[in-house]
Amino acid sequence: RGDKGKLRFPFPTECSQELLNGALHSGELDIYPQGREGRAVRVYCDMETDGGGWTVFQRRMNGKTDFFRTWSEYKAGFGNLSEEFWLGNELLHNLTNVGPVSLRVDMRSGNHTVYAHYTNFSVDSETRHYTLTVSGYTGTAGDSMRYHNGRPFSTRDKNPDPMGIHCAKAYMGGWWYKNCYKVNLNGLYGINSNNQVRLISADF
């Protein structure tokens, strides 16, 4: 990385700080979610979309990666940063609980592209089942995520809200389900469709 002393953020906690450090091209970079005392974590930074500085925490593009995973796998993260992946619920909690964070979801089906932007986004701790908080929608995709606000995360082997159908099993992917969903970006992969989910800190 060179001389950290000359960087605005010697130990960037997420991609928006990498952008301010001068990283202008999208790609894999190391961030330090817990600051200089913590370990480096490799993430994919989107430096082009909507001003750049987005930490990508989910991507589906070809259906090669299995998203029908266990609680521990969703906690730690899985997949390939250059293709399909889930960054990990524990890291997602750490990234979204340090200050104001925005969420952006981009979806494409064939040549049709839509997006949803939320000004308020956070994921609670594991003891609170990585419960979702999301609000402040703008965009073209529709405000489907709001339906899932306040819901715990569920996987094939752990269902914190056992009322009715086990949605993670039925729809084969971990998600913040609610009877079961209005949007589910981790379910069975659809032909000719892909999505990318990003978050950005707004506290700089």
Domain-located, residue 5:
no
With cut-offs at 50, 70 and 90, classify the pLDDT of residue 3: low
* Number of alpha carbons in the 13 Å side-chain half-sphere of residue 156: 14
Is position 1 within any domain?
A: no
Is 9 part of a structural domain of the chain? Answer: no
Residues 6 or more apart in contact with residue 55 via CB below 8 angstroms: 14, 15, 16, 31, 43, 44, 45, 46, 87, 95, 198, 199, 200
Please confirm whether the linkage preceding 45 is cis (ω < 30° from 0).
Answer: no
Poorest-confidence range of 9-13, 55-59, 151-155, 185-189? 185-189
Whether residue 10 has pLDDT greater than 60: yes
3 within a domain of the structure (yes/no)? no
Q: What share of the chain is helix, strand, coil (3-state, %, to 5)?
A: 20, 30, 50
Task: Give pLDDT, residue 198.
Answer: 58
Q: Could you tell me if residue 19 is inside a domain?
A: yes
Give the CATH number for residue 81: 3.90.215.10
Question: Which is more confident, 161 or 14?
Answer: 14
pLDDT of residue 117: 95
* Residue 182 vs residue 24, higher pLDDT: 24
pLDDT of residue 197: 60
Any domain includes 102: yes
pLDDT tens-digit series, residues 140-184: 999 999 999 999 999 999 999 877 789 999 999 999 999 888 888
| Domain count along the chain | 1
> Would you say residue 6 lies in a domain?
no
Closest CA to 122 of 151, 143, 144: 151
Instruction: Please tell me what DSSP assigns to residue 3.
Output: -
The yes-or-no verdict on residue 70 having pLDDT over 60 is yes
Question: Which pLDDT value is given to residue 1?
Answer: 47
The pTM of the full predicted model, rounded to 2 decimals, is 0.90
The domain of 150 spans: 15-203
- Maximal C-alpha separation, the chain: 56
Question: CA separation (Å) from 35 to 39, 60, 167?
Answer: 8, 29, 37
